[in-house]
């Protein structure tokens, strides 16, 4: 008798969707964001004839696509229930891999585990299938949801009005405090987000401190966060921490590496958070020894999937650290996975990051209607699996967009240098 859940095929489809000119410490977002859509096809009944699919989503850089494909060719015959075996396949496939890049984050996060990044979308797709076969949402497979709605934050960016040579986008320019306040109001009006995060590291720190104060004046009840992506020295970070004492919910990655964060943490009165200094399990011991960070921004895309991200949550709880969630440009499959994970992780109690407002509403790869926003959060899907289904027509459109756009990796710095030739991404900048 055949076993249910045996992998029959794996399809990896690179896609591109429109992105806005969002500024950060290493440049500016290009006109398109790249992602990979992973579809695992597995047996769904005991006679091995019927099949069903599970979905995962990950980075779309060419190096990462090659790594995913190397693993995909070895997954046929594996069980979607034996994710430990699939993890070992990833380890073996990545042995001897000397390729560089593939992080999908323009070099902002370069020390995450390659194996964990490769394994993650396959594990999510396997859990999607497990849920469908059991008739349960993924959050139930992760131990059961502790919240029915996952709160997200309004993620603000300094930005140009539009990409050079193109019409202004719906958000327009935000190059000062007034622009950020206007941007925050627009996002809060549409989604109801309560917490506000500012992507800093773009302008001199005094200007960004003034922007945070303007946001506090405009939204006195909103928790505030500032993330300069390690663009500041320890000295500058300490100055900002003093200036914004009692204002910020947490200060994210002000300085580079664990040692830099630890030096700031010794002086700062607010918690320090990171998705740059601590991005793999091997980083936790030195960080904990130095009390370098008090909040980890989890991200299942590079922490090794949903269950390993829950392990991270357990470690954080053991050592008295708190847990938030990082975001990169993403589509609906990732948003569904992020939501199930946050719903089933008791101590992930900060509002999560999301880039959702920054993509066009009509661009995705899932059928509309499954992901429902309500008063600042996303209702946890209750349908079996991730609760989202593939829209193959839209998938084909975004795949063709990938083929046509000419991009094979995210490179914010080179794109910025097209318009500012003397621009450098060297940090610390201040």
Catalytic residue list: 199, 326
**Residue 310: its H or E element:** helix 306-318
Identify the CA nearest to 13 among candidates 410, 329, 303, 403: 403
One DSSP character per residue, 14-55 reads: EEEEE---BEETTEE--SEEEEEEEEEEEE-STTS--EEEEE
Identify the CA nearest to 400 among candidates 365, 369, 356, 367: 365
Radius of gyration of the chain (CA): 21
Strand order in the sheet with 51-59: 7-18, 32-43, 51-59
Cα–Cα separations (whole angstroms), residue 148 to 81, 145, 154, 352: 26, 7, 20, 14
Q: 181: helix, coil or strand?
A: helix
The total number of residues shown for the chain amounts to: 430
Question: Is residue 372 a contact partner of residue 378, using CB atoms and an 8 Å limit?
Answer: yes
Alpha helices per DSSP H over 358-425: 392-405, 412-417
Q: 10 Å Cβ neighbour count for 289?
A: 10
Identify the CA nearest to 285 among candidates 326, 247, 335, 319: 319
Q: Are strands 272-274 and 250-252 parallel, antiparallel or unpaired?
A: parallel
CA distance 414 to 423: 9
Going through 275-375 in order, the beta strands assigned E by DSSP cover 295-298, 322-325, 373-374
**Residue 155: its H or E element:** strand 154-157
Residue 423, burial from CB neighbour count under 10 angstroms (0-12, 13-18, 19+): middle
Q: Which residues contact 127 (CB under 8 A, 6 or more apart)?
A: 54, 83, 138, 141, 142, 306, 385, 386
CA distance 389 to 125: 12
| Cα angle 385-389-394, degrees, rounded to a multiple of 5 | 155
Q: Are strands 377-379 and 373-374 parallel, antiparallel or unpaired?
A: antiparallel
Q: Which residues contact 320 (CB under 8 A, 6 or more apart)?
A: none
């Amino acid at each position: 008798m055949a076993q249910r859940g045996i992998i029959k095929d794996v399809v990896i489809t690179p896609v591109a969707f429109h992105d806005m000119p969002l500024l950060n410490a290493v440049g500016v977002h290009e006109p398109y964001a790249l992602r990979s859509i992973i579809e695992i096809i597995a047996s769904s009944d005991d006679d091995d004839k019927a099949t069903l699919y599970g979905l995962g989503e990950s980075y779309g850089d060419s190096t990462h696509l090659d790594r995913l494909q190397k693993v995909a060719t070895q997954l046929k015959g594996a069980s979607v229930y034996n994710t430990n075996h699939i993890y070992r396949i990833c380890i073996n496939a990545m042995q001897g891999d000397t390729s560089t890049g593939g992080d999908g984050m323009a070099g902002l996060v370069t020390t995450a585990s390659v194996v964990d990044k490769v394994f993650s979308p396959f594990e999510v797709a396997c859990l999607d299938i497990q849920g469908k076969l059991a008739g349960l949402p993924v959050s139930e497979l992760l131990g059961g949801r502790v919240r029915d709605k996952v709160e997200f934050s309004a993620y603000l960016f300094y930005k140009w009005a539009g990409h050079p040579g193109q019409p202004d986008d719906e958000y327009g320019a935000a190059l000062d405090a007034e622009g950020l306040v206007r941007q925050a109001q627009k996002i809060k009006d549409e989604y109801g987000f309560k917490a506000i995060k500012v992507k800093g590291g773009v302008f001199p720190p005094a200007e960004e401190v003034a922007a945070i104060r303007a946001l506090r004046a405009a939204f006195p009840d909103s928790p505030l966060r500032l993330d300069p992506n390690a663009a500041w020295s320890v000295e500058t970070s300490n100055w900002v921490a003093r200036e914004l004492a009692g204002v910020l919910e947490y200060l994210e990655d002000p300085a580079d590496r664990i040692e830099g964060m630890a030096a700031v943490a010794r002086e700062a009165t607010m918690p320090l958070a990171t998705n740059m200094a601590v991005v793999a399990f091997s980083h936790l011991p030195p960080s904990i020894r130095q009390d370098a960070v008090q909040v980890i921004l989890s991200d299942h895309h590079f922490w090794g999937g949903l269950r390993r991200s829950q392990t991270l949550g357990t470690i954080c709880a053991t050592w008295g650290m708190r847990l938030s969630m990082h975001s990169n440009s993403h589509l609906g499959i990732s948003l569904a996975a992020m939501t199930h994970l946050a719903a089933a992780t008791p101590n992930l109690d900060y509002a999560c990051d999301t880039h959702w407002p920054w993509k066009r509403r009509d661009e995705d790869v899932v059928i509309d209607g499954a992901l429902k926003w309500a008063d600042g959060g996303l209702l946890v899907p209750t349908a079996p699996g991730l609760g989202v289904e593939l829209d193959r027509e839209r998938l084909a459109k975004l795949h063709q967009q990938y083929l046509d756009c000419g991009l094979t990796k995210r490179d914010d710095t080179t794109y910025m240098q097209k318009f500012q030739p003397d621009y450098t991404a060297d940090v610390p900048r201040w």
